[in-house]
Amino acid sequence: MDSIIEVNGLTKTFGKNKALDQINLKIQHKEMTALLGPSGSGKSTLLRHLSGLVFSDKTQDGKIQVLGKTVQSQGRASGQVRNCRAQAGYIFQQFNLVNRLSVMTNVLIGALNYTPFWRTITGNFTKQQKAEAMAALERVGMQDFAHQRVSTLSGGQQQRVAIARALMQKARIIFADEPIASLDPESSRIVMELLSDINQREGIPVIVTLHQVDHALKYCQHVVALRDGKIFYQGESAAIDKLALAELYGSKSEMNLEVGVEEQPISLGRAPLSLIS
Ligand SMILES: Nc1ncnc2c1ncn2[C@@H]1O[C@H](COP(=O)(O)OP(=O)(O)OP(=O)(O)O)[C@@H](O)[C@H]1O
């Protein structure tokens, strides 16, 4: 099987700041992967490179492939980059929906990639597309809100609509950048469970950046941890230990390593952690 993600020699410099430093990464499973690391470690920058939204430094060996297609190489977009963007669904912290439009129209926007141009400018979606959009809304439990304006929804509901839009897009992979950062705990749980369920049932790989280590360990079978723009850990979530996490976030002193599971939240830098056994 082709790798889901293959990154070679990825370096990204902003001015004098090396945000990513010679990243080599291979993900060959379809299970959920959490991108972890302290603030500024390069998580979002890596995700944007995978999405083909940002291009790396022009290094000789720099290359990124997603689902077997080259997104970019040597800091330049590949001929397949549009195709790569079309196959990826994006979930952002700020939902990225069009507030003044209805929930249904926002989901239908997911179909734009494979809809003839004349239909997109007239907003003339087919009956079948509308049925698919409603099915996507049902999948995320938002069918009753189909004709409501997005601006009237809560943050958690908006994020579920954004997930429905990715399904409508027929995304073959989902990149989620801090999807629960602005949500309350209950909405966060619903969104993470939904992403996990879609990953397991539809078999769509999900790569998600998170600050909440407890959510990462609970919902994601795999972790890629970054520190100072370098890979610090890659492996199964179950295998990562508390000491490694403390080292990752550089805040051992803030962490009571003897603390029992779940009863007491442990702070890891910005990341609240109630460790799961
Ligand atoms: N467009 C940009 N211009 C300049 N510097 C940037 C830009 N994007 C990211 N950086 C820098 O690159 C580094 C990595 O940033 P990035 O946002 O990827 O980190 P992160 O791990 O996602 O952080 P956070 O968890 O706080 O979102 C930081 O030092 C950041 O300031």
State the average pLDDT over residues 145-165: 96
pLDDT, residue 116, reads 60
Which 3-state string (H, E, C) describes 30-80?
A: CCCEEEECCCCCCHHHHHHHHHCCCCCCCCCCCEEEECCEEEEECCEECCC
Q: What ipTM is given for this predicted complex?
A: 0.97
- Ligand 1 center–CA 142 separation, angstroms: 33
249 in any annotated domain:
no
Q: Give the closest residue (by CA) to ligand 1 atom 2.
A: 14
pLDDT over 90 percentage in the chain: 71
264 in any annotated domain:
no
CA gyration radius, the chain: 19
- For residues 126 and 114, the model is more confident at 126
47 in any annotated domain:
yes
- Ligand 1 center–CA 227 separation, angstroms: 12
117 — pLDDT class (breaks 50, 70, 90): low
259 in any annotated domain:
no
**pLDDT(266) > 60:** no
Residue whose pair of structure tokens reads 């990825």 in the numeric block = 10
- Ligand 1 center–CA 120 separation, angstroms: 34
Q: What CATH number has the domain bearing residue 30?
A: 3.40.50.300
> How many domains does the chain divide into?
1
273 in any annotated domain:
no
276 in any annotated domain:
no
262 in any annotated domain:
no
Q: Which domain holds residue 46?
A: 5-240
The atom of ligand 1 lying closest to the CA of 226 is 21
The atom of ligand 1 lying closest to the CA of 229 is 14
CB of 93 closer than 6 A to ligand 1?
no
DSSP tag of 114 = G
| Per-residue pLDDT tens over the stretch 30-86 | 999 999 999 999 999 999 999 998 999 998 899 999 999 999 999 999 999 988 999
260 in any annotated domain:
no
